Amino acid sequence: MVQENLEPQGSANAESLFKLMEEEQENPERQLQLYSLMAENLVNLGKMQEALQWLIKCKAVKADFTKVELESRYLLRIGELQQAKMVLEETNEFEANENYLSQSHRETDLILSIICSFMGELDKGKKLAERAILRGTLRKSPFVEACGWIRMGHIVQLDGKYNHDLAIQCYETALGLMEKINMSRGKSEAYMGLTVLYGRLGNYEMAQKMSLMALEEPNRVKDQWLASFVYLSHSIAAIYCKKLEEAKFLLDEASKGFDMCSGKFGLTVTLFWQAKLAMDQGNWPDFKVGIEKFLQLVEEHDYEFFLTKKTLFGPKDLQLIIPMLIEARELGLATSARFLEKLGLENLSFHPGYSIKVKTLGDFQVWLGNDKVHDRSWKREKAKELFQLLVTNKTKMFPKGEILSLLWNDLDEEAAQRDFKVALNALNKVIEPMRQVRSNPFFIQREDSLYGINKEAVFEVDAEIFETTIEKGLRAQGAKEAIEILIEGLTLYEGDYLPSRRYDDWCLEERERLLVLFLRGAERLSQLYIENDLYDEAIYWSEAILLKDVCWEEAYRILMYAYHNKNNRTYALRIYERCCKQLQEELGVEPVEATKQMYKKIKENSKVELSSMS
């Protein structure tokens, strides 16, 4: 992945290095250069045991020998991720304290960013990728910039708040830069990232195409480590796209490759997917062998992040891991029981293996893991409404009588009880289609006559993410940070909460609460744009406010101020007239004094201070 300017060399070059080494026996510095060059070649070829021997020879020549990029790449490739991360972070911290950046600093950042995507440290990985892109641009180094875009692609495809199109754009930007400088060796990682991404999207044809292109360079230079990760990526795509026989073959290839190059992390991830494949096929002997080895390596090499964080080669939905751990515990594997306890799931006897994603803003859609629930699957409208009621009140356990009064108040008690039972049964079938007959539902819990969402279940609801993000943006101190966060949150608001239930009393309060949060977020964003003289952006968001609430007076003041500062006094005055008209028609009131004062100053063509908006 990250490689120095040196390309992996073949045996002919190795022979010439040996000759040079014989000639330089009396020159320790030259010996170090040649020994480390040999180690780099072997690391690039995935021959880690041989590379280690040359690193030991470097230490023999000079006890305090250190070459951070080489050592960290060696540690990365043998799967000692925590140690590699520590070496790189210590180097970066030292250089920051010394107030300088070495020539190699950009390389350490790039290696660290790939480790972050392996380990699921998304925020840190994003910052490192951004820094690489900026440095590459400023220093006119297209290769560094391209590597930054590749690492950004990894982070974006893992972070659920971004659209997958943005990840594709990151990878394609990198490929375009590599093409311009005719750098074929840098393209494999981008194609590998696209292989995983297209597989997760269910587009196996594109995933297969990307995988073949990713393999070209590592096969040419005999880089076993990178080739093995490409096989692994392709196998993950095959599993997501239900190409199980192909996945089995690809996983075997990846396993053999990682064995050859001592890639412990790659082997660990391969064992996980082999165990998943065996479980899906009901092959319990192979499942037990695979999951046992996987858990052993996770424990030995401190890979627990794979179970708790979204990682480049891990499952898109982490809940997929839980039923595997439960099955392993049932087969008597103590390691699995320990991990379940660490995750706080030791009391679980069943888990469907996926989280539920719910879209409520502007439309209602549901996904079970990666699979979208189609409208026809609901069968009964009341089953859908019951689910919406429970999701709206996720932390509440409803008495059955309250549910009946909210959803079946037009029926007598006997009919309401019957229809509730039918709707609940239909709902459970929709969200747990593979649940065994007579087994207890997982997502919808019943405690005596109380019903609600299981607190152990993972639900990703857009309205909750929207609320959390806007509140974070409103609290942010710096303008740049606040603008970024508020835009992220406001983009999630694609329309009113559960629009198909606009006439149902039980969700009116939640709809109004979320709308007000949108208006507050958009108002704050408009004010921040005004403070930074970005008047067009302020106008856009102020108009967005008025589309939702024509009486939100602060939006009119922002528009008046923005148009006045764009030297369009006439339109600023028209905004005031529009404000007066709407307030009179809707509420029968006049504008507040602050709005009147701003109008007066604009009419007199006086200077309007920002403080006038308060």
Task: List pLDDT tens digits, range 535-557.
Answer: 999 999 999 999 999 999 999 99
Per-residue pLDDT at 287: 97
Task: Write down the pLDDT at residue 25.
Answer: 57
The confidence score (pLDDT) of residue 24 equals 53
Q: What is the pLDDT of residue 90?
A: 83
User: Using alpha carbons only, how large is the chain's radius of gyration in Å?
Assistant: 30
Which residues have CB under 8 Å from 250's CB, separation 6+?
231, 232, 234, 235, 238
Cβ contact 490:529 at 8 Å: no
The band of 94, judged by pLDDT with boundaries at 50, 70 and 90, is low
Instruction: Give domain status of residue 185, yes or no.
Output: no
Domain-located, residue 517: no
Q: Which pTM value belongs to this model?
A: 0.84
Beta-strand pair 371-373/356-359: unpaired
Q: Are 85 and 117 in contact (CB under 8 A)?
A: no
105-114, 199-208, 240-249: least confident range: 105-114
Instruction: Average the pLDDT over 522-530 and give the result.
Output: 97
How do strand 459-461 and strand 356-359 relate by DSSP bridges?
parallel
Residue 405 tokens read as 């009064």
Q: Which two tokens stand for residue 16?
A: 């010439």
Q: Which domain holds residue 361?
A: 356-457
> Is residue 19 in some structural domain?
no
Sign (positive/negative) of CA torsion 93, 96, 100, 101? positive
Q: Report, as an integer, the average pLDDT of 362-378.
A: 93
| pLDDT value at residue 398 | 96
pLDDT of residue 40: 80
Q: Say whether pLDDT at 103 is over 50.
A: no
Tracing tokens 């520590």 back to the chain, one arrives at: 86
406 in a structural domain: yes
pLDDT at residue 71, as a whole number: 87
| Domain assignment present for 330 | no
Helix (H), strand (E), coil (C) string for 255-324 = HHHHHHCCCHHHHHHHHHHHHHHHHHCCCHHHHHHHHHHHHHHHHHCCCCHHHHCCCCCCCCCHHHHHHH
Token duo for residue 544: 């967005």
Number of independent structural domains in the chain: 1
Calculate the average pLDDT of the chain: 90
For position 93, what pLDDT does the model report?
Answer: 66
- Decide which of 251 and 11 is more confident: 251
- Give the rounded percent of residues in the chain with a pLDDT score beyond 90: 74
Q: Say if 435 falls within a structural domain.
A: yes
Q: Which residue has the higher pLDDT, 578 or 73?
A: 578
DSSP for 326-356, written as a single string: HHHHHTT-HHHHHHHHHTT-TT-S---S--E
How far apart (Å, rounded) are the C-alpha atoms in residues 385 and 561?
45
Neighbour-count burial for 439-478, b at 16+ CB within 10 Å, e otherwise: eebbbbbeeeeebbbeeebeeebbbebbbebbeebbebee
Q: ∠ CA 610-611-613 to the nearest 5 degrees?
A: 80
User: What pLDDT, on a 0 to 100 scale, did the predictor assign at position 436?
Assistant: 81
Q: At what angle do helices 462-475 and 508-531 cross, to 10 degrees?
A: 40
Using 50, 70 and 90 to split pLDDT, how confident is the model at 106? low
pLDDT: which is higher, 578 or 3: 578
pLDDT, tens digit, 9 for 90 and up, residues 185-196: 889 999 999 999
- Is the pLDDT at 368 greater than 70? The verdict is yes
Contacts 24+ apart (CB under 8 A), 245-254: 247/273, 247/277, 248/274, 248/277, 251/277, 253/228, 254/228, 254/229
- 224-282: per-residue pLDDT in tens? 999 999 999 999 999 999 999 999 999 999 999 999 999 999 999 999 999 999 999 99
- At 614 the pLDDT is 42
Confidence of residue 104 (pLDDT cuts 50, 70, 90): very low
Backbone φ and ψ of 186, nearest 5°:
-90, -10
* Percentage of the chain modeled with pLDDT above 70: 93
Q: Per-residue pLDDT for 8 more than 50?
A: no
The answer to whether residue 57 scores a pLDDT higher than 80 is yes
What's the pLDDT band for 5 if we cut at 50, 70, 90? very low
Residue 374 lies in a domain: yes
Tell me what pLDDT residue 6 has: 30
In this predicted structure, which of 95-104, 157-166, 417-426, 585-594 has the lowest mean pLDDT?
95-104
Q: What is the pLDDT of residue 62?
A: 80
Average pLDDT over residues 13-32: 61
Q: Which two tokens stand for residue 137?
A: 């641009």
Lowest mean pLDDT: which of 7-21, 367-381, 446-460, 572-586?
Answer: 7-21
Q: How far is CA 382 from CA 200, 362, 397, 426, 452, in A?
A: 32, 20, 19, 9, 16
Looking at 48-62, 352-366, 371-385, which range is the least confident one? Answer: 48-62
Looking at residue 4, its pLDDT comes to 37
Confidence at residue 186, expressed as pLDDT on a 0 to 100 scale: 84
Q: What is the CATH number of the domain that holds 362?
A: 1.10.10.10
Query: What pLDDT does residue 12 have?
Result: 43
Domain presence at residue 564? no
Q: Please say if the pLDDT value at position 19 is more than 80.
A: no
